[in-house]
Structure 1
């Protein structure tokens, strides 16, 4: 089959750090255009925005949206309306209502919509999922702490409504937990810490319960310096199951099982090619549902001002 002709919309840090290399390494997809207000890429067609891209005579089959979640609905809606398949960087949107509207539009037009969760594509996630189906879970604890100044330097959008604040990385943890646990869970407590000068939280302490009553806790913080922490620990009657390094490493009963280099975005583009060719979509929005619940049930705690 002919390769998918792809355009990237938003040529910022995540596109350059992850998407460009992953596209180049993936069979079945070719990057032919970019749309960016502030950057260009040599060797492909360049446009100021998605409107200019879609109005041009450059042939594309799909777009990968790497822009901030605020304003992404209009971009995705325009692409779907123009008959293009759409791949959404996480989080898939700024609100639940808009992502469900996109899901309905893609279905009505017979197009692929792919809500990506790059941490789910880490090496240890599927082995952990298969293992936990066979074990009796006693508790789950998540510790996801990193340095916002390192990972998001000068990115003001993350502190605005819809930018999610600490849930920008925290949703990665939730994407893994919603994948590996064998039963649903729901939020029962949410404490959100907001800097006095910001509209989005810098830390979150969450308590969930599985349908069976098994506790699930999560601690997210954007103020950690030095080594970063991306750990999920599942205590089972048979022994501990631990995912570390953002889901790329698996330790079972104290014994390392999987250690693998970062292939997350290559896996995502492989899956996107498969979805487009099969005429299907992947629109699991459950991680965003849990984030929305955290804001709905959140108790606001104010802390000192934060400056980038």
Structure 2
């Protein structure tokens, strides 16, 4: 198989910060076209939206959707119906029903669908998973706190229904926890702190329980300034296993094991090339399921208005 000819839809901050460089660094794939309402990119075909891209006659094998989750279902559906493999930026959609519908549609067309979780590509995640499978666990806790003004300046969509609010970064933590924990777990309590002028939470406190009854807690907050916190700590009978810096650093029993630069998106595109070459999909929606549960069980706590 030759190089995958890729079209990107949405040329915003995440595409420019992560996707473009990762594509360029990945064998077996090349950027052929972009679709964006407000931006163009030199050296590739440029279109206003995905419909114009798909109707253009430009030969494409796959589409990577880097748009906000609201409205992404229609874009993904159009791409799949046009015979294109699809890669979904996280979160994969605005609702559970739409992502499961996309999974079914892609399968019926024999196309690859990749629901990406970039934080799972962090260097410490797979080693932590392998280690925890051998240990006796006691509990786990997550602290995921960052400054929304720094990471999402002026992005009003993220505060609207379907934009997830603080769960936009929080789902990254959940994507790691669902990967490394040997047991499944379910939500038992959810407190959602929501600004009086917003539809989505700015903070959340969650409690989970594993199949055997072990506790997991998660604290998400978008109001932290200064150093940012992206930590997951698992207590085991043999000692603590800690992932910091979003999973790129692994500390076992107090000793640093892995410290590595950010390669998450390069890993995603490498995996996408492999999925397409094998005719397979990766549609693990479990992090989104936990977020949906948090909203279903969520107790609303109103806080002061948030202004960007």
Is TM-score (shorter-chain normalized) higher than 0.5? yes
Where does structure 1 differ by over 3 angstroms across 4 or more consecutive aligned residues? Answer: none
Count of residue correspondences: 308
Cα distance in structure 1, aligned partners of 2:158 and 2:30: 30
Cα distance in structure 2, aligned partners of 1:72 and 1:25: 26
Whether 1:251 aligns to 2:248 is no
Cα distance in structure 1, aligned partners of 2:137 and 2:298: 27
1:90 matched residue in structure 2: 90
Whether 1:5 aligns to 2:5 is yes
Compute the displacement of 1:57 (Å): 1.1
* Structure 1: runs of 5+ lacking an equivalent: none
Secondary structure (helix, strand or coil) at the match of 1:223 reads: coil
Render the CA deviation track for 1:139-179: whole Å, top value 9, x for unaligned: 10000000000000000000000000000000000000000
Aligned positions of 1:166-177 closer than 5 A: 166-177=166-177
1:117 matched residue in structure 2: 117
Compute the displacement of 1:300 (Å): 0.2
Aligned positions of 1:1-308 closer than 5 A: 1-308=1-308
Q: TM-score, normalised on structure 1?
A: 1.00
Cα distance in structure 1, aligned partners of 2:90 and 2:64: 11
* Structure 2: runs of 5+ lacking an equivalent: none
Cα distance in structure 2, aligned partners of 1:100 and 1:115: 11
Cα distance in structure 1, aligned partners of 2:273 and 2:200: 35
Secondary structure (helix, strand or coil) at the match of 1:239 reads: coil
Render the CA deviation track for 1:60-103: whole Å, top value 9, x for unaligned: 00000000000000000000000000000000000000000000
Compute the displacement of 1:56 (Å): 0.6
Cα distance in structure 2, aligned partners of 1:202 and 1:66: 22
